[in-house]
Amino acid sequence: MLPHFKLTQELSSVSTTSNCWEYMSTQLCLGQNMLSTSQRRLYFLKELKRAGLPPHHLLHYYVVVIRPVLEYYSCIWHHNITNKLSLQIEAYQKRAIKIIFESTRHMSYANSLYLTELSSLQHRRQQQARDFFRSLLDHNSCLHSLLPSPRDPNLVATAARRFPALAS
């Protein structure tokens, strides 16, 4: 089950869109809730390892139970994530791989990912964000109407000729 994040104040105090993003980033505490939930689930992964589950079952547990928490709403908050939080999130995946496969203890993270056939969480966030925004381009999407109308290619070409510094 995915975690529920609580607001600490009423949303009625938010007046503009930019204030809304600041409010969400400071009040939802996504990073802290997500990491504490993941930490508890990593502990359970260790317990499953001690119980003698084979690595393919442990990897399945990670992919189904822990990774979704680390990616919760990632297509929304991915572009506002700090480098520090991104590294902390990746550290949870590193730790899970090292728990599951003891042979990866002294490997680099890139080699561990290659061995386990997993993608980095940053790469997955980028791919999910790309897929989400591409899905908005579909005319059947309920959010498609919110997109601005397409630009006239002739106007874009004219602007590029008149203002070459802006085109590059």
Domains identified in the chain, total number: 1
- Other beta carbons within 10 angstroms of residue 115's beta carbon come to 13
Q: pLDDT of 30-79, one tens digit each? A: 566 777 888 899 999 999 999 999 999 999 999 999 999 888 867 677 77
Six-digit token string for 163: 């203002």
Residue 5 falls within a domain, yes or no? no
pLDDT in tens, 138-148: 889 888 888 88
| 48/52 Cα distance (integer angstroms) | 7
pLDDT digits (tens, 9 = 90+) for 73-116: 676 777 778 888 888 889 999 999 999 999 999 999 999 999 99
End-to-end CA distance of the chain: 47
Any domain includes 33: yes
- d(C-alpha 118, C-alpha 32), whole Å: 24
Residue 98 belongs to a domain: yes
Q: Within a domain: residue 151?
A: no
Q: Distance between CA 103 and CA 42 in Å, rounded?
A: 18
Tell me whether residue 117 is in a domain. Answer: yes
Q: Which of 66, 63, 77 lies closest to 125 in space, CA to CA?
A: 77
Domain enclosing residue 24, as ranges: 11-143
152 within domain boundaries: no
**Cα(137)–Cα(144) distance, integer angstroms:** 6
d(CA 120, CA 91): 10
Residue 128 lies in a domain: yes
Tokens encoding 64: 């189904």
Residue 126 lies in a domain: yes
